[in-house]
Structure 1
């Protein structure tokens, strides 16, 4: 089935030629499909807001953008179960708001470049070194950087208990997603010729990665056993080389499994285990955190994960608590020694 056009996916953009032209251009420049979809959703929401305000999106001013920001920050979350510690009622996640505003800002940059506006109504936040607090310019909305969420041992045990009853394909996919720290798209894009069973290595193709960088990563012996069992099962309904993980539904048998189908599988497992925050990316978070706990250096983890910047990788080092625990242990050892030395000292006049 051919993929839908931008007009079909975002009908709100079809009535605004500049918006449609901008999103098409971003797609033509090779932007990742998920990013194009995110920009399309964000811009469609902004167009709907401007329409409700009876203002042309091309002529909107900073006051309209400010009202849109207020609407976003006041909007309740559609998935409150994923924000158990948020104020009541839970609002949109900070990352979602930032994503929406990025689409609006880039769209207005385009309008300025095309001569349709003189200036953009969306300011760019920037930090001025040495400036006093309150004098530096910031973004429209404060940006919060949260550590990735991973389940505790009880939560992980619950996930594994439910996963144990899953079909061999799903168990193999779960094992590879964790073992190799794969993103959802990377997992679903694996092909039969990407696997090297002799060396227990797999290739993650550049076109499937977020950074557009190919990498080779290992997988464990238990994952290899699951893979052998799955390949024997796969041969019962398809002997063709190509996509590794195939759909077994009646609607599209032997077709490549889609990221959306895989998300539904993981979502079903998460709800059955009583861990609604668990998602396809959680397996990657858990893998990288475990590598940090095991003492891997930050550059090694970054290479394994395919991160462009080690700043992203450092989040998993912090989440593991490895460095802080080591410093705490060293500090407590020195403090302990000093206290013991004081107790062992003989007070004057008591010898």
Structure 2
């Protein structure tokens, strides 16, 4: 609310956001909801629209604002897939907040329909029963580095402190999200079995899991633990800051992101980010022939729909089908040639 005072000028909006806060949604989720709805309400105020009675064409003004707005990151944008300064995923995220707000208004009896499209209410289907989104959703395969790009990144990481090297190794080995990696604690490690415990409260899906790591990563981890003991013997967060301003404090998400960004630029692979390691690991598992459900369990996915992207990216199923199909076609063509020769 402090970042978006416009929410305070709309009691229903503030009420809706407070409900999500009381339900225990993650702070980052609340921030995303507040931003999306706050930006929508600002457009409504500027255009003289009452958000409680807005229709589809008026919501479309907000969509136009989003699709023509230049990115605040300017030249730092790595990928631009929306035809404007905002990525398609960002457009979808903004609209989710508005759609959920109108779902709430319908539930409270303030409105009868949802002008955002998806999430429309019907007596049989409830919320989300049909309807098309205002902005087409682009479903892209995750980006992963090729072999040379991966070697370039590793060459730079070899010059990094042991903490950064072991974080890279664990993030890849265990397909960890940034939040899961930075939230690891000393008692989450089982060196005897080379296993990590990923606590449910640190995950996106709120599902805990246990994942292995390699012997090479285990050696790096042991080296880091010896180094860590030189400035902190306390149990608790595994990865600690070694800066002069925050010595011994838990390493933040933003610090790790800055490390990876600095390395990516030094390696001349600007697309490389913290989540790339997770994408690369899951794709490699698919290439090795892991079953869909095994990859989903390893990744902590709630649904195998998310996992399918890595199967597609690996090209495993398509390659198998292509090879099988080509073998049949090849055999048919050879047999046809042989038959033609005999008939002559």
TM-score normalised by the chain length of structure 2: 0.90
> Hey, what's the Cα distance between the residues in 2 that align with 1:255 and 1:295?
41
Of 73-82 and 47-56, more deviation after overlay is shown by 73-82
Change (3 A) 1:348 1:289: closer
> Hey, what's the Cα distance between the residues in 2 that align with 1:173 and 1:122?
41
- Contact 1:32–1:210 (8 Å) recurs in 2: no
* Aligned pair partner of 2:196 in 163, 177, 202: 202
Secondary structure class of the residue paired with 1:186: helix
Secondary structure class of the residue paired with 1:276: coil
> Hey, what's the Cα distance between the residues in 1 that align with 2:106 and 2:325?
56
- Contact 1:77–1:92 (8 Å) recurs in 2: yes
1:82 aligns with: 78
* Aligned pair partner of 1:55 in 43, 49, 58: 49
User: Deviation string for 1:256-276 (max 9, x for gaps)?
Assistant: 111122111111111222222
5 Å matches for 1:302-341? Answer: 302-341=296-335
5 Å matches for 1:235-246? Answer: 235-246=229-240
> Are 2:4 and 1:40 equivalent residues in the alignment?
no
* Aligned pair partner of 2:289 in 295, 312, 329: 295
Secondary structure class of the residue paired with 2:284: helix
> Hey, what's the Cα distance between the residues in 2 that align with 1:311 and 1:76?
32
Give the deviation of 1:117 after TM superposition: 4.0
- Contact 1:74–1:91 (8 Å) recurs in 2: yes
> Hey, what's the Cα distance between the residues in 1 that align with 2:317 and 2:111?
50
2:105 aligns with: 111
1:66 aligns with: 60
Give the deviation of 1:9 after TM superposition: 3.5
Give the deviation of 1:281 after TM superposition: 0.8
Change (3 A) 1:336 1:61: closer
Secondary structure class of the residue paired with 1:217: strand
> Hey, what's the Cα distance between the residues in 2 that align with 1:275 and 1:331?
37
2:174 aligns with: 180
> Hey, what's the Cα distance between the residues in 2 that align with 1:154 and 1:20?
50
Secondary structure class of the residue paired with 1:8: coil
- Contact 2:116–2:133 (8 Å) recurs in 1: no
1:347 aligns with: 341
> Hey, what's the Cα distance between the residues in 2 that align with 1:335 and 1:91?
47
> Hey, what's the Cα distance between the residues in 2 that align with 1:112 and 1:90?
32
* Aligned pair partner of 1:97 in 70, 75, 91: 91
**What RMSD, in angstroms, separates the aligned Cα atoms of the two structures?**
2.0
- Contact 1:125–1:140 (8 Å) recurs in 2: no
Secondary structure class of the residue paired with 2:2: helix
Moved over 6 A (4+): none
Kindly tell me the number of residue pairs found equivalent between the two proteins. 333
Give the deviation of 1:193 after TM superposition: 0.4
Please list every run of 5 or more consecutive structure 1 residues that lacks an aligned counterpart in the other structure. 1-6, 127-135
Change (3 A) 1:118 1:345: closer
Of 31-40 and 210-219, more deviation after overlay is shown by 31-40
- Contact 2:282–2:310 (8 Å) recurs in 1: yes
User: Deviation string for 1:3-31 (max 9, x for gaps)?
Assistant: xxxx3343332333322222121122122
1:130 aligns with: none
Please list every run of 5 or more consecutive structure 2 residues that lacks an aligned counterpart in the other structure. 121-129
Give the deviation of 1:170 after TM superposition: 0.7
2:21 aligns with: 27
